[in-house]
Amino acid sequence: MRDVIAAEWIKMRSLRSTRWTLAGTTSAVVGSAVADAYTSPPENGFQLSDAFPVAGFLVLIVAATAFGSAAMLGEYGSGLIRATSVAVPARAEVVLAKAAVIAAVWTVAGTVMAASSFTVTGLILGDVTLSRPGTGAALLAAILIGPVCALTGLALAVLVRHAGAVYVAGILLLVLAPQMVGTRQEPSRMINHAMLLPAWQRLTQAYGSPEAVGDIYATATTAWLVYALWPLILLAAAVSVHRRRDV
């Protein structure tokens, strides 16, 4: 398994698109935070929502999902998956190795993005402190949304295989569907709470006790469960399908 992970890392590191994607996404996230900070009313002071603006993180969500999808779609499209399957007969290892590398890359990138966004916003607005309630959870949620979406994209690529359908499914599930499903009544509220974008918003923008937040967002515990279950369930399905499918 270690050799498979090393091979996947070499593949990913050698692609120029990897560096451009990460650099472009970082610029979008930090740039959006700077823009939000400069347009925020001075009397409001520093708010976590300024450090983690929706616009910048929507770019991150789309970019990470596309990045994870491309890691598998590239092999399907080029036919390299056949050679990979011959070299690594245990097909589950291929998916899991890609998942490990993608998760590591986007966790590091997410840390840089979240820390930079938080720091720059604090320098502009002042009054920033890590001891503020919700700050730790918001930082962690901002860091992890990248790897969670990238792993989701990888799993969708294995399950669907067709590039256009994968990208449409990723944008629909992660960006559009949460905005189309309301929170005023059940069962739409429950469906909304089970989606990744509302979970990220709960942890980075609507921090506080359930009483303070209200029922528009899920509880913090539910939001963390959503973070964990989306990639785990989809990757389990992807591994199962990849084992049985002809390549």
Tens-place pLDDT, residues 49-100: 788 989 999 999 999 999 999 999 988 887 777 877 777 777 888 899 999 9
Q: How far apart are CA 127 and CA 179, in angstroms?
A: 32
Please give the model's pTM, rounded to 2 decimal places: 0.90
Q: Tokens 């913090």: give the residue.
A: 220
First-to-final CA distance of the chain: 21
Six-digit token string for 19 = 């560096």
pLDDT for the residue 42: 65
Q: Are 146 and 110 in contact (CB under 8 A)?
A: yes
- Residues in Cβ contact with 24 at an 8 Å cutoff, skipping those fewer than 6 apart: 63
Q: How far apart are CA 53 and CA 185, in angstroms?
A: 27
Q: How far apart are CA 200 and CA 197, in angstroms?
A: 5
pLDDT tens for residues 171-228? 999 999 998 987 777 888 899 999 999 999 999 876 544 444 556 778 889 999 999 9
Q: How far apart are CA 51 and CA 121, in angstroms?
A: 5
Closest CA to 200 of 182, 231, 178: 178
pLDDT for the residue 171: 95
Closest CA to 55 of 35, 73, 77: 35
Identify the three-state secondary structure at position 246: coil
Q: Tokens 């390299």: give the residue.
A: 80
Six-digit token string for 133 = 């309630």
In 159-179, which positions are buried (b, 16+ CB within 10 angstroms) versus exposed (e)? Answer: bbbebeebbebbbebbbeebe
Closest CA to 93 of 23, 3, 174: 3
